[in-house]
Amino acid sequence: MHPERTTAGWQALDRQHYLHPFTDYKFLHAKGTRVIVKAEGVYLYDSEGNRILDGMAGLWCVNVGYGRRELAEAAYRQMLELPYYNSFFQTAHPPAIELAKQLVDLTPPQFNRVFFTGSGSEGNDTVVRLVRRYWDLLGQPERKVIISRVNAYHGSTMAGASLGGMAFMHEQGGLPIPDIVHIPQPYWYGEGGDLSPDEFGLKAARELEKKILELGAHRVAAFIGEPIQGAGGVIIPPTATGRRSSASATVTASCSSPTRSFAGSAAPATGSAAISTASART
């Protein structure tokens, strides 16, 4: 960092060189960016000396707070010992192996293997390829369709934004890509009307069953859904939605072994999502 720069100087450089995601640049350039220079605990500090409570925890990913010395020291030691090596050429290294084992221990029992990526978007792109290839290898290449939800967020890459159900993102680049479809979101507060949460939850879950039957279970590769729709408005589905959605996938899909891998992000995921094959738990 250049401590001699002023806020105005950083803002000028920002206008000239730095592209921000999901941003109205005309508005931003007129207003000027807020420049964050340090953080500690749950607080951020900007270049004007203001202390700001970080209610979003970064982008919902700084779960243990800022300035944790033990994390910085662990990263420093690892950077000195082995900062990087790939796993393309029949190689591995202890941190990746140990972390994969720890993730398997912490996640539900159907997840036995881990594929690391650099972001949630990349993780969900990987999931699209992985689940379609899975069905290819089982001799069912017609199983390509992935069902998601309207207003879901699963990343901003081509596949991630397609899996997401946000119309304004689909307008940017001719999305969604083929064989990704969407069902209504389980948003009882905004869309439940006179139904109770349980009644609306069942109604929302039946949309999954309806879509599977409409498409034909033999074409459905997977359903992807956020346990809580984060970017869509922190939408918590009624309890009945989860129970019925699992039952719908079981009843309407042909029997086969579920996928047993977890495509995870090495960094906190953007729009992290739970994904299961349409025949899981049959």
Return the minimum-mean-pLDDT range out of 10-14, 27-31, 145-149, 238-242: 238-242
Q: What is the pLDDT of residues 196-205, one digit of tens each?
A: 999 999 999 9
**Region 159-174: what's the mean pLDDT?**
91
| pLDDT surpasses 50 at 243 | yes
What residues have CB less than 8 Å from 98, skipping those under 6 apart? none
- Position of tokens 């350039």? 29
**Region 213-241: what's the mean pLDDT?**
90
Q: For 41, which DSSP code?
A: B
Whole-number pLDDT of residue 4: 80
What residues have CB less than 8 Å from 221, skipping those under 6 apart? 131, 132, 134, 135, 143, 144, 145, 146, 179, 277, 278
CATH of span 92-277:
3.40.640.10
Whole-number pLDDT of residue 250: 46
Greater model confidence, 41 or 278:
41
Whole-number pLDDT of residue 245: 59
| pLDDT surpasses 70 at 265 | no
| pLDDT surpasses 70 at 246 | no
What residues have CB less than 8 Å from 249, skipping those under 6 apart? 208, 212, 223, 276, 277, 278, 279, 280, 281
| pLDDT surpasses 70 at 218 | yes
Give long-range contacts, CB 8 A cutoff, 24+ apart: 246-250.
246/281, 247/205, 248/205, 248/206, 248/208, 248/209, 248/212, 249/208, 249/212, 249/223, 249/276, 249/277, 249/278, 249/279, 249/280, 249/281, 250/279, 250/280, 250/281, 250/282
Q: What percent of the chain has pLDDT over 90?
A: 74
Whole-number pLDDT of residue 231: 87
Average pLDDT value over all residues in the chain: 86
Cα 182 to the chain's mean position, in Å? 16
**Region 53-77: what's the mean pLDDT?**
94
Greater model confidence, 38 or 244:
38
Whole-number pLDDT of residue 76: 97
- Residue-range domain boundaries for the chain: 7-70, 92-277
Whole-number pLDDT of residue 182: 97
What CATH class is the domain 7-70?
alpha beta
pTM of this prediction exceeds 0.85: no
